[in-house]
Chain A
Amino acid sequence: MPKIGKTGLSRRRVLKAGVAMVAGTAAMPAYLRAQGAPLKIGILQPVTGALAFDGAQGQIGAVAAIKAINDKGGIKSLGGAKLEMVFGDARSTPEGGTAEVERMAADGVVAIVGGFASPICLAATQAASRYDLGYIVDVGVSDQIVSRGLTNTFRFAPGFGIVTKSALDNLVTLNDAAGKPAKTVVLVHEDGLFGSGLAKLMQAELPKRGFEILDTIAHPTPARDMSNVALQIRSKNPDLIIPSSYYGEFVLLARTMQQQKIKPKGVFCVLNGAASNYRFVKEFPEAAQNVMDCNHWYDPRNAVAQALKKEVEASGKFFTYNVALNYSGVLLLADAIERAASADRKAIVAALASSTFAGHIMPYGPTQFVSGQNTGAAPVNTQVQDKDIKVIFPASFADAKPVFPVPA
């Protein structure tokens, strides 16, 4: 058997070839720069801790959008520069989010998308503003996020104020169209920033619209048991139940209500964690049937959204609104970078501020930011009908008629 040395592949030659290859790779970026060096964008999501499910969903959307942009030739005004994701795990806490923003800034990202929960978004946007980093909030609904005068902060999706106003308008339209069968309401809400804020708004607004609030029931997250909540609902016997909770708790509530045979004329959720989630619909079709929700939702008629939904579902994941919002958020950022024709952070922030982007997959129309809030953004009203989630309001995006009052 010939020795390796005698075949001409001596150790030294192999080493030389290796060195040459490494040198070649190292020299590549300089050559690529002519075509546009990769642009780093920060994707911040809580993928561990209590909010990990939502964070992972958001990540799916961001990754899909980056891939879509790169497949189409990257940022053309920067010579086809590809987007490169710098991912940060916010660990479901504001501190975690802040730490990751600091790391991303040091890593040289040009802007950040994500955050999910309001407390994380509040902290992360503030940290990003110290580095003039543009920040697109994906979900965080607290209106405080866009009312602090931070010029780097942009929320693409609707906030609390817009969502509750639409929810109330839709509820009145729904009730009037059915001949006003619902007069009394019980509010059920989780006791954090999100649920309590929403309940307070509802308490102020519902009586003005002719509804009587019989009770407001707060519950903790996580809750081990919703039997007491169900008991109180049953004793009040309201026409309508308006719950604002995260996924696990609402599923428990819906199941317990089914066990306790509580059948109101309608369950009208606002920004609910479960009612717009295909998992809930698939696993508990009976408990989910006819539940309505005013929430973020993709445009059901948009071809890109439909294709993305198929792709996500084919990979065994659920197509939640987080996917669509982060997908759209990254597209919005790419459009701003394209128009800024620069990797300069301030130029990108300026381009975001003047955005009229309409190529997203949400039912919004063109983007227009007024002090950081996209005024084109609006929620839709969905209803679970026959194991599917249908849009019932606004009429221009609806793909089903509402079922209300729910047949006993």
Chain B
Amino acid sequence: MTSPDILAAAVLNGLMSGAVYALIAVGLTLVYGVLHIINFAHGAILSAAMFAAYLAFQAGIDPYAAMVPLALIFFGLGYGLQRLMIGPASHDDDQNILLITLGLSIVIENLLLAVFNSDTRTVDVAYGFSTLDLGFTFLAVPRAIAFGVSCLVAVLLWILLAHTDTGKAIRAVAKEKLGASLAGIDVAHIYAVTFGLGATCLAIAACLLLPTYYVHPRVGNAYVLVAFTIVVLGGMGSIPGAIAGGLFVGVVESVSGLVFGESLGQLGIFIIFILVLLVRPTGLFGAKA
């Protein structure tokens, strides 16, 4: 039943979806790698970012044009959130952070619900329906853009982490918090920067998703479960792992959706997920603890 054309198109679709998954997962894994906590508010922040992009669109700003300003705004918000709220409230106890981010997600989600109601909203952009004819399939332009931008962001993030002082400080804090602070690194600042970067990834993902997807207060949840899976699959805290994992999960989901039926598309992901955990408990790219 599956001709090579459909299979190729499904793989392509998977890569397009996977790139955005990867971007969302990168934010999550970055926060985990440095702060050693799972940010439960990740999905709620994604929803908030999508509403921000939606409001920008209502104000006449194209989602792609809003990307850089929103990325900066969300960096600021993420930074402030960690520096002024999550950090001080945690009292150096990881369990507290877990609960705070969980609480935060409930607050954000319900604030969005109170302000925007639960309507499903969409934006209609001029390029929303433009496609590239690849012969065997039509590739939607907004999805191709999402793929390109996600890859670009991944490269920029890699440059930031590998070649800047801030990046080195982030890696130092991730490896050895005490040592880093003894070397003069402001750990609270680095924590906040990392959280800000995580929020930035979400703001960019939101702007990429909006032209082809819809937004409502709980929309982030649809992406976050899969992002958690990717983070574990790729190796907790590993950025290359999150990127490879995202693309991989996108393709697996798409192809297994085609083979087993859309409802069981997730089946493929979790079978591989379990196998990876059995064979390589640290994930594909995870460091040996």
Chain A interface (Cβ < 8 Å from any Cβ of B): 47-50, 52-53, 55-56, 191, 217-220, 222-225, 227-229, 231-232, 235, 247-248, 251-252, 255-256, 258-261, 279, 283-284, 286
B129 contacts A by Cβ under 8 Å: yes
Given contacts A52-B113, A235-B3, A247-B120, contact A228 B13 (CB under 8 A): yes
Q: How close is B209's CB to chain A, nearest CB, in angstroms?
A: 9
The residue that B6 contacts in the complex, of A56, A235, A283, with Cβ under 8 A, is A235
- Give chain A residues whose Cβ lies under 8 Å from the Cβ of B128: 255
- Give chain A residues whose Cβ lies under 8 Å from the Cβ of B161: none
- B124 engages A284 (CB within 8 Å): yes
- A251 engages B120 (CB within 8 Å): yes
Q: How close is A283's CB to chain B, nearest CB, in angstroms?
A: 5
Given contacts A48-B118, A225-B17, contact A231 B9 (CB under 8 A): yes
- Give chain B residues whose Cβ lies under 8 Å from the Cβ of A231: 6, 9-10, 13, 137, 258
Main secondary structure of the interface of B (DSSP, over half): helix
- Give chain B residues whose Cβ lies under 8 Å from the Cβ of A218: 261-263
B131 contacts A by Cβ under 8 Å: yes
Smallest CB gap from B214: residue in A: A248
Q: How large is the interface on B (under 10, 10 to 19, 20 to 34, 35 or more residues)?
A: 35 or more
The residue that B117 contacts in the complex, of A53, A228, A283, A286, with Cβ under 8 A, is A53
Best-buried of B17, B138, B140 by chain A (most CB within 10 Å)? B138
Given contacts A48-B113, A52-B113, A231-B6, contact A258 B257 (CB under 8 A): no
Main secondary structure of the interface of A (DSSP, over half): helix
> Could you give, for residues 132-164 of chain B, a 1 whenever the CB lies within 8 Å of some chain A CB and a 0 otherwise?
000001101000000000000000000000000
The residue that B118 contacts in the complex, of A56, A227, A228, A252, with Cβ under 8 A, is A56
7 A-B pairs with the lowest CB-CB distances in the bound complex, closest first: A52-B118, A219-B262, A191-B263, A227-B13, A218-B263, A222-B222, A53-B118
The residue that B212 contacts in the complex, of A223, A232, A255, with Cβ under 8 A, is A255
Assembly CA distance A49 to B254 (angstroms): 27
Q: How close is A287's CB to chain B, nearest CB, in angstroms?
A: 8
- B138 engages A260 (CB within 8 Å): yes
The residue that B263 contacts in the complex, of A220, A247, A251, A259, with Cβ under 8 A, is A220
With A55-B118, A247-B120, A261-B131 given, can you name 18 additional A-B contacts, CB distance below 8 Å? A218-B261, A218-B262, A223-B262, A225-B13, A225-B254, A227-B254, A228-B13, A228-B254, A231-B6, A231-B137, A232-B6, A251-B120, A255-B128, A255-B129, A259-B131, A260-B138, A283-B122, A286-B129
